[in-house]
Structure 1
Amino acid sequence: MKRKFLIPAFTVLLGGAMALRSDDKLFEMAKNIEIFVQAYKEVSGLYVDEINPTRAMRVGIEAMLKELDPYTVFYPEDMIEEYFTLNVGSYNGVGATFEKHQDKHIVTEVFEGSPADLAGIKPGDEVQKINGVDVRSRKPEEFGRLLKGQKGSKVQLSVLKFGEKKAQDLSLTRSDIKVNHVPHYGMVKGDVGYVQLTSFMNAQSGREIKKAITELKEKGMKSLILDLRGNPGGLLQLAVEINNLFLPKGLPVVEMRGRAADQNHKFQTTAPAWDEDMPLVVLIDSKSASASEIVSGTLQDYDRAVIIGQRTFGKGLVQITRDLPYNTQVKITTAKYYIPSGRCVQAIDYGHRNPDGSFPKLPDSLRTAFKTKAGRTVYDGAGIDPDIVTGKSEQSDYVKALVDQKLIFDYATIYYHTHKDSKPEEGFYLSDTEFKNFEAWLAKQKFTYESPEQKAIKALQKESLDLQKMKSSIEQLNKIAESNVQQLFQKNATEIRNLLELEILGRYHYQKAMKFVAFERDKDIQEALKVFASPDRYKALLKK
């Protein structure tokens, strides 16, 4: 009865908008909402099966937002916990992350000291039931809803530990989980300090970084490496605070420009700098985005730091969150941000689509040149370009396939369970023998990878009119392509080894894994040390 009452009433309300001019945007909006409501009314009343109104409306909203950009997102009531996790850096839960892999809900990370950690849950374990409900056939979002709950409430998990045949029943008490976004800081070599910042989501991160660098300075730090690699960004205000640690009071940091006048804002440093002169290197890569690009780009624009690594992601968009009825929310892209030189780092044009439906990137040939304070040339439209480029900007497709198919993850789990009593310490190296063991293990797994050459040969076979005549040639090409694929492991061995070592360290040292990495093989950190070792080179990099 409620549904039949509300829809006509809403339709009548919208009908009043018909008096508006046909070229008026309000008229267009009212007209199309009326069409949508009437269409839903007809489908709901006449469709052969019962229509779930919540699901139907959610799909409609999500489809509408999908036409805009990936950052404009609707959060229904059952996803509000996820919103707080992503945007506040804390949530109520068990302190573990999960991923559905091969129809199993696998633990991928456990936070140190969390309920999951105290219960003995480890990465690689499988959760089969939550409060008696079998979740093996459930979608990830359903799994998440069953797992979340109020702080202090109990949740019963049936967990199949790695290597065991029978699941264990565990009782966990949900608690407030705070994610530490400054998991490691310390001295790298001599008087060079290092601070890792993994996200700008936590409002406490500014204080955590200041605490870390203050402690390092008391230990004799004379130069600092700020590691923003893999940092996806977060709170814009936090980016301003971190820039303020190294820039004097009153300097512009970032400007927001939106379609609506109330979305235009300018942000500047508001306090004296923690240190304006200490030599500084910022590490970035292709996964450094948003607030990471504000920090690295602003420090580059003021010639305050040498930027080392690979070109950043290129996200120059700003979102705000608006409350909607019934405890729902929508996050909306409202503006682009511009750093002091005047450039915007946004790399993808979400206003237009390619014929295949994808969004185009701005080609390098169309990037506009800007100047830093010292007159160095920098460019807009594709992220932040480092002053010193090291290595590849992205993982190879081969390595991505290893990561996506959880093969590096799985072997790290095996390694942990067979080396529980030999906890790796600082400067951890995976021995050549163990790395060969991984290669041998990998050869026995169902690893699927198709190289560009193999894809091209398949396409050739489809297009060929006379396959019989070409059979011998295609077989020869396939042998060559297969041989090339077999060589990809050795070709990418350094990258694979580094990922495997970091995954293994995470099993023992949680989010502090970077503390135990062998920095001697980290090309970005080694380049930073070379820069600090030559003050003249450091100064020259920051001059026109």
Structure 2
Amino acid sequence: MKLTNKSFIAIAVAALVFLASFQIQKNDRYFEIIKNLDVFTTLYKELNTYYVDEINPTDIIEIGIEAMLQSLDPYTNFIPEDKIEDYRIMSTGQYGGIGTTLGKIEGRNVVMMVFEGAPAETAGVNIGDELLEVDGNPISDYSTDEINKLLKGQIGTQVEVKVKRSGEKRPLSFTVERQRINIESVPYYGIIENDIAYIRLTEFSSGAGASVRAALVELKGKGAKKVILDLRGNPGGLLNESIEVSNVFIPKGLEVVSTKGKIEEWNKTYTANKNPVDINIPLAVLISNNSASASEIVAGTIQDYDRGVLVGQRSFGKGLVQATRPLSYNSQLKITTAKYYIPSGRCIQAIDYSHRNEDGSIEKIPDSLKTEFKTRAGRVVYDGGGVSPEFKVENKGLAPITIQLIKKGFIFDFATEYFYNNEESVPDPKSFAITDNLYNQFLDWVSTKDYSYITATERAINKLKETADSDKYLEFLEKEIRALETDIQEHKKEDLKVFSSEIKKALKEEIISRYHKRQGMIESSFENDEEVEAAIQLLNNSNKYQGLLEVEN
């Protein structure tokens, strides 16, 4: 079709108008950026000059940066120079230090865990030691982060620590040489029943895939014919390690994840690029509400290829990818650059950060907006809400009494005292049990402690009283409410007996950790672990296992 001169001129004019409009919009955007940066600069200058008190420039600017990034999503963060080392540790799983995990218990700075073979263990530092000084500096008022910074340092240098130990009248001092500490992404693996292998993966730091691969090869050599991969509570980590872990169970060449963002050249598709260990071994993957990011990539990939069965609760729902960008003065920006999509094509991101309510709040993606996808076998799965397991196991959580005993450190302290009273008798993680006699010793010990607590039911009653008082109904309901409160107090007196099974479980794990560190603690936790038990039963029932992976008629 030929264009007339008038038509050509009309099209040319329209194109010029569009380009001019685009340029104006572009210039308007640049002007807005320059204007607001100028406002920010002049505002800070006026504050610095005229504010009544001295202003710390680093603190106030960091607060401004954090507030700005907070309006985007929780994963876009500013990393100042003094926190770069912490970020590097999270990424690599390595640091120079002594190999301990610290925590605060009722104001005490306590060694919660000592890594197997770490310098702290070699020097003689034990779980339960209360840290008093580091290199002669009293640290009672220090935060856990501040103490960790004192303990970390150049490999080969020494640090002096002074501790208070249960049963010792005087503080003990230890000289510990800092070494390279590797945080194991697979703290435990083993055969847990007959021919069922178990692998616990706690984070996706550098080398996580290689660790899972090596563990499965070793366990298959010991006769494993089925496997449980435990991703419960795993917050994620490096994207490439999720590909490596998936590749252990799926064939080379299969797509694992793709990313899509604003920068088109950054959009990529990642495939399994190694030979797998085993693509047929029956597989149960344990997930929980706190399994996120890279954990969800692995779980979602296993589900989308119908490679195994997911057991537990629906995962967290983080389908966002972060990258780091260098900033001036050795600082960095960790920024969300893309969304990731697992093999079925779905994104499991559960919260829509790009659309906020008028008050700035955010909501989960409603079910009405979720899209249906299908696994390779044709099973229906959905986007926008994490990964849902085929075999659901309800996580009932702990009773308020158990939470309070843990929070107050009473279970932790009793385990420490037990250890020093029974150092010569090393318990076996699998066979050790909290006998009724030992539990009664704990009850006698804790009876002198203040473990009072308020239940959710009591908080609800207090709220009811406030509402009834506001509505002028309190005098009519007061008698019934008082009777209800009395009943609750009577029941709470029995909580140590009613919830003895879960308290015993917590005691067992804590006592075993004193003798066998992390590995023993994990091994001892299998008893009364509902998700592990469900996975074992499922793997031992091939008909039920296969049925969950087939399309419902």
Asked whether the two chains share a fold, i.e. TM above 0.5, the reply is: yes
Name the SS for the 1:314 alignment partner.
coil
Q: Which residue of 2 aligns with 1:498?
A: 505
Change (3 A) 1:193 1:445: same
Aligned equivalents of 2:504, 2:388: Cα separation in 1: 26
| 8 Å Cα contact 1:280-1:306 kept in structure 2 | yes
**Structure 1 residue corresponding to 2:275, chosen from 251, 272, 276:** 272
Q: Which residue of 2 aligns with 1:12?
A: none
**Structure 2 residue corresponding to 1:182, chosen from 176, 180, 186:** 186
1:25-70 Cα offsets, whole Å, 9 max, x none, are 3322222222222121111122233222222222222222233333
| 8 Å Cα contact 2:315-2:386 kept in structure 1 | yes
| 8 Å Cα contact 2:212-2:248 kept in structure 1 | no
| 8 Å Cα contact 2:210-2:244 kept in structure 1 | no
How many angstroms does 1:475 deviate by?
1.6
Aligned equivalents of 2:123, 2:501: Cα separation in 1: 35
| 8 Å Cα contact 2:509-2:525 kept in structure 1 | no
How many angstroms does 1:460 deviate by?
3.0
| 1:156 has 2:160 as partner | yes
Aligned pairs for 1:98-113 (under 5 A) are 98-113=102-117
Name the SS for the 1:327 alignment partner.
coil
Q: Which residue of 1 aligns with 2:92?
A: 88
Aligned equivalents of 2:306, 2:343: Cα separation in 1: 11
Aligned pairs for 1:385-400 (under 5 A) are 385-392=388-395, 394-395=397-398, 399-400=402-403
How many angstroms does 1:235 deviate by?
1.2
- Which amino acid in the other structure matches residue 137 of structure 1? D
Change (3 A) 1:21 1:208: closer
Q: Which residue of 2 aligns with 1:474?
A: 481
Percent identity of equivalent pairs: 43
| 8 Å Cα contact 1:185-1:515 kept in structure 2 | no
Aligned equivalents of 1:335, 1:490: Cα separation in 2: 51
Change (3 A) 1:451 1:298: same
Q: Which residue of 2 aligns with 1:335?
A: 338
Name the SS for the 1:521 alignment partner.
coil
Change (3 A) 1:257 1:92: same
How many angstroms does 1:517 deviate by?
1.9
| 8 Å Cα contact 2:290-2:315 kept in structure 1 | yes
Q: Which residue of 2 aligns with 1:538?
A: 545
Name the SS for the 1:288 alignment partner.
coil
Q: Which residue of 2 aligns with 1:433?
A: 437
Q: Which residue of 2 aligns with 1:194?
A: 198
**Structure 1 residue corresponding to 2:250, chosen from 247, 251, 255:** 247
Change (3 A) 1:222 1:504: same
Change (3 A) 1:429 1:69: farther
Aligned pairs for 1:46-445 (under 5 A) are 46-201=50-205, 203-351=206-354, 359-364=362-367, 366-392=369-395, 394-395=397-398, 399-427=402-430, 428-445=432-449
| 8 Å Cα contact 1:408-1:499 kept in structure 2 | yes
Aligned equivalents of 1:93, 1:21: Cα separation in 2: 53
Aligned equivalents of 1:125, 1:455: Cα separation in 2: 36
Aligned pairs for 1:38-53 (under 5 A) are 38-53=42-57
Aligned equivalents of 1:514, 1:384: Cα separation in 2: 28
How many angstroms does 1:520 deviate by?
5.1
Q: What RMSD over aligned residues (CA atoms) do the two structures have, in Å?
A: 2.7
| 1:525 has 2:532 as partner | yes
How many angstroms does 1:447 deviate by?
2.7
How many angstroms does 1:356 deviate by?
8.4
- Which amino acid in the other structure matches residue 73 of structure 2? D
Change (3 A) 1:30 1:496: farther
How many angstroms does 1:528 deviate by?
2.4
Change (3 A) 1:22 1:243: closer
| 1:512 has 2:532 as partner | no
Give TM-score, length-normalised by structure 2: 0.87
Change (3 A) 1:262 1:388: same
Change (3 A) 1:114 1:259: same
How many angstroms does 1:371 deviate by?
1.4
Aligned equivalents of 2:383, 2:71: Cα separation in 1: 25
Aligned equivalents of 1:403, 1:339: Cα separation in 2: 38
1:403-433 Cα offsets, whole Å, 9 max, x none, are 4443433333333333322222141322233
How many angstroms does 1:116 deviate by?
1.6
Name the SS for the 1:24 alignment partner.
helix
| 8 Å Cα contact 2:216-2:277 kept in structure 1 | no
Q: Which residue of 2 aligns with 1:451?
A: 455
Name the SS for the 2:538 alignment partner.
helix
Name the SS for the 2:174 alignment partner.
strand
1:425-467 Cα offsets, whole Å, 9 max, x none, are 1413222333344345445433343223211222233341475
Change (3 A) 1:204 1:301: same
- Which amino acid in the other structure matches residue 184 of structure 2? N
How many angstroms does 1:348 deviate by?
3.0
Change (3 A) 1:278 1:492: same
Name the SS for the 2:275 alignment partner.
coil
Structure 1 runs not aligned, ≥5 long: 1-18
Aligned equivalents of 2:508, 2:360: Cα separation in 1: 38
- Which amino acid in the other structure matches residue 342 of structure 1? G
- Which amino acid in the other structure matches residue 230 of structure 1? G
Aligned equivalents of 1:408, 1:23: Cα separation in 2: 64
Change (3 A) 1:480 1:342: farther
- Which amino acid in the other structure matches residue 514 of structure 2? R
Moved more, 495-504 or 207-216: 495-504
Change (3 A) 1:479 1:115: same
Aligned equivalents of 2:404, 2:358: Cα separation in 1: 27
How many angstroms does 1:488 deviate by?
5.2
How many angstroms does 1:339 deviate by?
0.9
Aligned equivalents of 1:352, 1:121: Cα separation in 2: 51
How many equivalent residue pairs? 525
Aligned equivalents of 2:223, 2:327: Cα separation in 1: 51
| 8 Å Cα contact 2:95-2:152 kept in structure 1 | no
Q: Which has more radius of gyration?
A: 2
